[in-house]
Amino acid sequence: MDNYEIKLEKNKKRNENYIQEFEVWLKEKNLAPKTIKKHLSNIELYLNEYLNYYEITKMEDGIFDVYSFLNDWFIRKCLWASKSSIKENASSIKKFYQCMSEKEYVKVEDYKLLCKEIKDNMEEFLDSVNTYDDGSYYDLFM
């Protein structure tokens, strides 16, 4: 195994601890098992696929990468991307980082900025899905 793969596996193992803590937190909120499963799946994708896609990024730093995930990467890389899945992922990410801020893994101020960023840009995220789905995304490059 090369150095990159070792670092990647170390980061994924670290993320698994955060995901487990998030699962406990969600259960404490009395969410339905199906809802919990969806949030965990969304966060696993964000932490272990997106944040490690271009370079290995720690969960704490990932709080600053949500815009590019929701407005670009998720739409291009996930065939199931839709308006509802954008909203679901945004909700999962907000809940996850709320949990992480309550556990003091990220700053409360950073969590609040994340929530504001998602709220302020949600229409843009949804428009981006439409642009990609209707093919006009490709017109931008012609």
pLDDT at position 138, please? 54
Per-residue confidence at 65, pLDDT binned at 50, 70, 90?
very high
Q: What is the pLDDT of residues 112-127, one digit of tens each?
A: 999 999 999 999 999 9
In this structure, what is the dihedral angle of CA atoms 139, 142, 65, 69, given to the nearest 10 degrees?
40
pLDDT at 104 over 60: yes
pLDDT at 141 over 60: no
Q: 93, 45 in Cβ contact below 8 A?
A: no
**What's the predicted TM-score (pTM) here?**
0.92
Q: 61, 106 in Cβ contact below 8 A?
A: no
Per-residue confidence at 50, pLDDT binned at 50, 70, 90?
very high
Average pLDDT, the chain: 94
Per-residue confidence at 132, pLDDT binned at 50, 70, 90?
confident
pLDDT at 26 over 80: yes
When divided into structural domains, the chain yields a total of 1
Q: Token digits for 115?
A: 């929530």
pLDDT at 8 over 60: yes
Q: What range does the domain containing 34 cover?
A: 3-139
pLDDT at position 2, please? 86
Q: 51, 57 in Cβ contact below 8 A?
A: yes
Q: 86, 70 in Cβ contact below 8 A?
A: yes
User: What is the number of other CB atoms lying within 10 angstroms of the CB of residue 50?
Assistant: 21
